[in-house]
Structure formats: structure tokens, C-alpha cells
Amino acid sequence: MPLERNGELIATAAGAAVGHPAAAVAWLARRRAARGHGLTAGQVILSGGLTEAIPVAPGDVIVASFDRLGTIELACR
């Protein structure tokens, strides 16, 4: 999956769904609790992201192309 911002390649990724996304969040919560930490209100958790979160700004155009699925484009206002 190539990920572009304003026509510039900013990330690539490959992966497949492995189980329910909520299972990943539960694993994260247990793992952090075991280390004396928890999840706090307002935290952003990507339970199924193929890439890290990327910043966007008004005017940005984000394009992600998925093999066998197609392309999605997001125009930020």
C-alpha cells in the first residue's frame, strides 16, 4: 500500500487482517497494565493501521492504493 501526501510518497506498507481489531486494543491495555500504565481518555489508538499516523493540514490530499481493493483519496479542507 503506497501512501502519498500531495503527490509525494510518504510511506509504504503490506499486511493482512489478523483477528478482530478490538483484540489488539485489549492486548495493548493488558500489556500496559502489566507495566504499571494504562490507557487514558483521549489517547488515539490505531488498532489496525498499516502505517504510523501522519499529520495532515488544510489543502493536503492523501491517497492510499490497496492491491486488489482500489484507491482512496482524502482531500483535507
* Residue 46, pLDDT score: 81
- Report the length, in residues, of the chain: 77
pTM listed for this prediction = 0.66
pLDDT band for 17, please (50, 70, 90 cuts). Answer: low
What CA–CA distance (Å, rounded) separates 37 from 20?
23
User: Do the strands 61-66 and 70-75 form a parallel or antiparallel pair, or are they unpaired?
Assistant: antiparallel
State mean pLDDT over 39-53: 86
